[in-house]
Amino acid sequence: MEIQTFTPGAPSTQDQALQKAAQELEANFLAEMLKSAGIGKTPEAFGGGAGEDQFASFMRMEQARQMAANGGIGLAESIFDALKDRIND
């Protein structure tokens, strides 16, 4: 059994897991928004062909993860708060 020490102001393991899940949900949402905006779409001229089409979703997802990690649009914070409230009920 792991002994957890409490440091005032430090997030608990549960809070860290909730934050990670909330950030990943925001990243997935942002990836879909980037897809709708046409990010990663193969250009008509001088495109990368089938390979570019197949890997565009990976590029969008990584861009979305970076966006979420750098503050995103605030969705992760709202999701985290909702999850935290749900657990505390």
Q: Where are the alpha helices (DSSP H) in the chain?
A: 13-36, 49-69, 75-88
What is the model's pLDDT at position 64? 96
Q: Look at the block and give the residue holding tokens 């495109």.
A: 47
Q: Look at the block and give the residue holding tokens 């990943």.
A: 24
Q: Which amino acid is at 48?
A: G
What is the model's pLDDT at position 10? 65
Q: Are 22 and 76 in contact (CB under 8 A)?
A: yes
> What does pTM read for this prediction?
0.75
Find all residues with CB under 8 Å of 29, minimum gap 6, and list them.
64, 75
Q: Are 43 and 53 in contact (CB under 8 A)?
A: no
Q: Are 42 and 55 in contact (CB under 8 A)?
A: no
Give the pLDDT confidence of 42-89 residue by residue, as tens digits. 766 666 667 777 788 899 999 999 999 999 999 999 999 999 999 888
What is the model's pLDDT at position 5? 44
